[in-house]
Structure 1
């Protein structure tokens, strides 16, 4: 028997699809929002799901929401910038007797990758790069005693045009770095559907303290040129709005962490049941969307 009651923290581009996918499984779902939802997002809440507006920096208040809703599983989808706030969620989960915690790691592999110099790219604190933050948060979860489930999906396929500056009119891709390392890509629909499926069908013994490595598609950044039928241009730095963030993300792909089977310690790809997409088999019969399918190429 698997879990029946869930809390999703954050109703953004990943959180809301997970809420909808869980509701489709006919389980109890409460969405925790710090500032509440606007009218449009409130209308998108599916039947069977509820919303709780709560200060997510208040351990007691968050724990009370978990207890009131008899939450068994907490899924955090808070942004990378706020990932440090997960310690509050972990403490609240422990206090409320939550049985499983899924941290906000829906992206590149962060397992053990605490010394990658390219994580210190402009825009990130050299003293606490992104993967180091995630590593510390994961270690905190482990010491709390609350079982965890970690989901690595590589890059989110829908965000590709934004990252590489490609659109159907210009047909040009702008990259920073060599662009030769393999990257895992997974669509939002596949991520949300997989999370909801495994958490509501697999027994706790198959979920606790596990890493799930997803992959909907796989390509190097340079190969995106052929996929999008676009010219590839390399530059030293992306300019314009949040150009520093785009530069950082593109440089990260050169280190190998874009693949969900990347081993940061050995600087090599994992294999077997730790290979990229190894967790896909846990969702039998599901069709995983390719880059071309997501973007109608």
Structure 2
């Protein structure tokens, strides 16, 4: 059994709030949610205390961690703000945190040097240099975000940049939150410290999504509209294979064993992972 009894979640967005709920549903643990001053009120379980603090003030954040005797810090801040995690790591070191779970929850970042994926990898390196044990969780794309990625609402087709043939890992938000809550409250530290956990709810190519959504593929040079450049960049990564949670960017190949896509699914025995069709009622 785990020795972790007190958790601090940073951010309450798409995956943050579900993780808060999953942890709070566990007996004999305490959970706090950190949000920025002035942020909108969050609806959380009655057992969860919401603390407003400026994330860039390492001393102030560390004081919160110490006051609540936090064992584990989970950062869920957005990809575009991942560099801001550095001050959170500094706070964790000041407070002698036992485990830090950085904001990954997406495509594999190990080995990346540039862009948003590179920034996340740099945070992992900073954690290591700070001497704080960490657990990185690669999930692939959130299954719920498929329509967003392929611009499905604009014409009802699966818009694909590139060939669209490479396999992509998709994992639903409830599965991600449930997994995080389970492993952090059931597994011993030896199975979590300085580990990369690779999830996969379902595996499909972007082209293959068309069959599931009962539509056709439209190959395009780029995705336009809101966040179009970001979506285009993601699809370019996926087109070379990096959409799989088992992808090794250094070797330019799929990993095997504990480095394979979905290899960490087994850590949550008996769980039935949600399919694409189930999530989207197809």
Looking at structure 1, the residues matched to 120 and 240 of structure 2 have their Cα atoms a distance apart, in angstroms, of: 17
1:267, distance to aligned residue in structure 2 (A) = 0.5
Q: Tell me by how many angstroms 1:47 deviates.
A: 2.3
Map residues 114-129 of structure 1 onto 2, 5 A cutoff.
114=113, 128-129=114-115
| Residue in structure 2 matched with residue 250 of structure 1 by the alignment | 235
1:109–1:261 Cα contact (<8 Å) kept: yes
Q: Report whether the alignment pairs 1:267 with 2:266.
A: no
Could you tell me which residue of structure 2 aligns to residue 56 of structure 1? Answer: 55
Root-mean-square deviation (CA), in Å?
A: 1.3
Map Cα deviations across residues 132-160 of structure 1 (whole Å, 9 max, x no partner).
Answer: 21121111000000000000000000011
Gaps in structure 2 of 5+ consecutive residues: none
Give the CA deviation at 1:170.
Answer: 4.5
Match of 1:206 among 174, 179, 191: 191
Q: Give the whole-Å Cα distance in 2 for the aligned partners of 1:215 and 1:35.
A: 35
Q: How does 1:203-242 map to 2 (within 5 A)?
A: 203-242=188-227
Paired residues of 2:199 and 2:263 also in contact (CA < 8 A): yes
* Residues 110 and 257, structure 1, Cα contact 8 Å, conserved in 2: no
1:103 and 2:102 correspond: yes
Query: Cα distance, 1:37 vs. partner?
Result: 4.5
Deviations 1:191-224 (A, max 9, x none): 0000010000001111100010000000001101
Instruction: Give 1:278 deviation, angstroms.
Output: 0.7
SS in 2 for 1:52: strand
How many Å apart are 1:253 and its aligned residue? 0.7
Distance 1:255 1:131 in 2: 15
For normalisation by structure 1, the TM-score amounts to 0.92
Deviation at 1:171, TM superposition (A): 3.3
User: Which aligned pairs between 1:53-92 and structure 2 lie closer than 5 A?
Assistant: 53-92=52-91
For these two proteins, the number of residue pairs brought into alignment is 280
In structure 2, how many angstroms separate the alpha carbons of the residues matched to 1:145 and 1:188?
30
Residue 132 of structure 2 is aligned to residue 132 of structure 1: no
- Whole-Å separation in 2 of the counterparts to 1:132 and 1:162: 23
Q: Residue 151 of structure 2 contacts residue 223 of structure 2 at CA under 8 Å; is this kept in 1?
A: no
Q: Provide the residue aligned with 2:167 in structure 1.
A: 182
Where does structure 1 differ by over 4 angstroms across 4 or more consecutive aligned residues?
none
| Residue of structure 2 in register with 1:34 after alignment | 36
Alpha-carbon distance in 1 for matches of 2:16, 2:94? 23
String of CA shifts for 1:147-184, please: whole Å, max 9, x gaps: 000000000000111111224x9531111111111100
Q: Distance in 2 between matches of 1:148 and 1:36?
A: 29
State how far apart, in whole Å, the 2-side matches of 1:136 and 1:172 are. 36
**What is the Cα deviation at residue 283 of structure 1?**
0.5
1:157-196 matched pairs, under 5 angstroms: 157-167=143-153, 170-196=155-181
Task: Give the C-alpha shift of residue 252 in structure 1.
Answer: 1.4
Unaligned ranges ≥5, structure 1: 115-127
Q: Secondary structure at the match of 2:126?
A: helix
Change (3 A) 1:36 1:196: farther
For residues 9 and 71 of structure 1, the distance between their equivalents in structure 2, rounded to whole angstroms, comes to 12
